[in-house]
């Protein structure tokens, strides 16, 4: 029995439906002929920590949503393949979100932060109610307009928002500046 095959089938079903079907329908999802086979597979996945039993039903654990890390690949010259590839598991939410109760996402627009690695349409991980320090990348409302920039004290008093692209000017509030949160991460999907 290959538990990875069954785990993959369950992950695909969860991605599409955000739930598991009844035990009777799980046989179809897993490609098994009997409910005995379903119970055996589920038992192994529970023992491995991918699933848990909650009120008589199965539910995914954090490990269920974790994916294997291929290893590390140089962006320069190639290197020998790591022997540890696939042994580490990472849950994307755990990797990106430190404080779920204070975290939200914001989509970046434009290229004023490209030299900070933030590109048009990137998804920013923003932590609200976090103390800021000079040099933080923040999402802010500047004179009723939303922007993402570096935050620095202004020598003339107040704050200045600085871009990470020399083609754009520094911004200072004419009326109001409210920092909504500090950018703690960024992710993007390459469209194919």
Distances (CA, A) of 85 to 51, 78, 94, 125: 23, 15, 20, 27
Q: Can you say whether the dihedral through the CA atoms of 76, 81, 84, 90 is positive or negative?
A: positive
- Catalytic residues, by residue number, are 112, 149
DSSP code, position 184: E
Task: Read off the tokens for 127.
Answer: 């932590």
Query: Residue 75: helix, strand or coil by DSSP?
Result: coil
Could you give phi then psi for residue 92, rounded to 5 degrees? Answer: -60, -40
């Amino acid at each position: 029995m290959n538990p990875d095959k069954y785990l993959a089938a369950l992950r695909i079903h969860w991605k599409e439906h955000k739930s598991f079907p009844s035990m009777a329908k799980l046989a179809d999802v897993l490609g098994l002929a009997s409910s005995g086979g379903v119970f055996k597979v589920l038992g192994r996945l529970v023992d491995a920590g991918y699933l848990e039993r909650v009120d008589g039903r199965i539910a995914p654990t954090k490990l269920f949503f974790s994916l294997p890390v291929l290893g590390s690949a140089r962006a320069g010259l190639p290197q020998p393949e790591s022997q540890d590839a696939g042994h580490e598991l990472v849950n994307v939410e755990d990797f990106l979100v430190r404080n779920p109760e204070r975290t939200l996402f914001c989509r970046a627009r434009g290229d004023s932060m490209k030299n900070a690695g933030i590109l048009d349409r990137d998804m920013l991980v923003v932590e609200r109610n976090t103390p800021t320090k000079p040099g933080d990348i923040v999402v802010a409302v500047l004179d009723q307009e939303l922007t993402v920039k570096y935050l620095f004290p202004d020598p003339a008093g107040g704050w200045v928002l600085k871009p990470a692209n020399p083609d754009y000017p520094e911004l200072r509030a004419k009326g109001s500046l409210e920092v909504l949160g500090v950018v703690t991460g960024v992710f993007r999907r390459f469209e194919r």
